[in-house]
Amino acid sequence: MPPMTMRNIGHQAIVFELGGVLLDSEDALKDAARQVATRLRLCVPEETWQSFRGVGYESFFGEVLSLPANKDCALSISHVVSLAYESCCEEIRRSARLFPNVPELLQFSRANFEYLAIATSCEWRFVAAAFKQFDLERYFDGVVSGDHLTQKKPAPEAYLVTAWLLGVKPTNMIAVENSILGIRAARLARTPVIGIATTIEAQMLSDARADHVASDHGELLEYIRELARAGEKARA
């Protein structure tokens, strides 16, 4: 069997992470986390805030609550994370935006691939807030959010469930991810994955074994156009 590459697999679907890939939401996520930390009087050192980029609320607040300064806080991670998502939905309406070229990217993908989907570890209410704010729902055939999962990224479940939902093989999808955890999840599902360097450096995505890395959304759009052209030639 030839090695799994972007070139020798039939691509029926493109599956996007939402935050950090389509939605520039890092500031909204972080602002919401700061609001909750202040409200609950949690001690969060500056170096912990610096590690926030590309990290989910569960991992971030799990680390925060494990700090010695917060050991006497009678708070569950699930409660803190729920408050953070509540604040984040407000921040999405206030400060989040789509990355440049995203509308064109989605329109092209919708016209040239059989299925489009979202696979994210974020809660459904995060997805719903973004869909409503930016009218994104019309582009997608399916959404898998953290609420649907027993194991979040880097476990492959998000991609395996998405493949089942769309009725395609995981190897016949393309994932687009901005994080190491997301790339690992796609690779474990044997889904080819494009990394986009919005929250971490391109070299880190390459080191995580993304099949291709785009430095920005213009480059991502051009690469997906190239994949579509290759698919047309293969079918001719």
pLDDT of residue 54: 67
pLDDT of residue 5: 44
pLDDT of residue 216: 96
Peptide bond connecting 3 to the previous residue in cis, omega within 30 degrees of 0: no
| Alpha carbons 72 and 77: distance in angstroms, whole number | 14
| Alpha carbons 137 and 131: distance in angstroms, whole number | 5
Q: Are 174 and 114 contacting, i.e. CB atoms less than 8 angstroms apart?
A: no
pLDDT of residue 55: 73
pLDDT of residue 7: 43
How does DSSP classify residue 155?
S
Average pLDDT by consecutive 10-residue portion of the chain (236 residues)? 42 94 92 93 90 80 92 90 91 91 96 96 93 96 93 96 97 96 97 95 96 96 91 71
pLDDT of residue 236: 62
Query: Roughly what angle, to the nearest 10 degrees, separates helices 26-39 and 77-95?
Result: 130
Would you tell me how many other CB atoms lie within 10 Å of the CB of residue 149?
A: 17
pLDDT of residue 231: 76
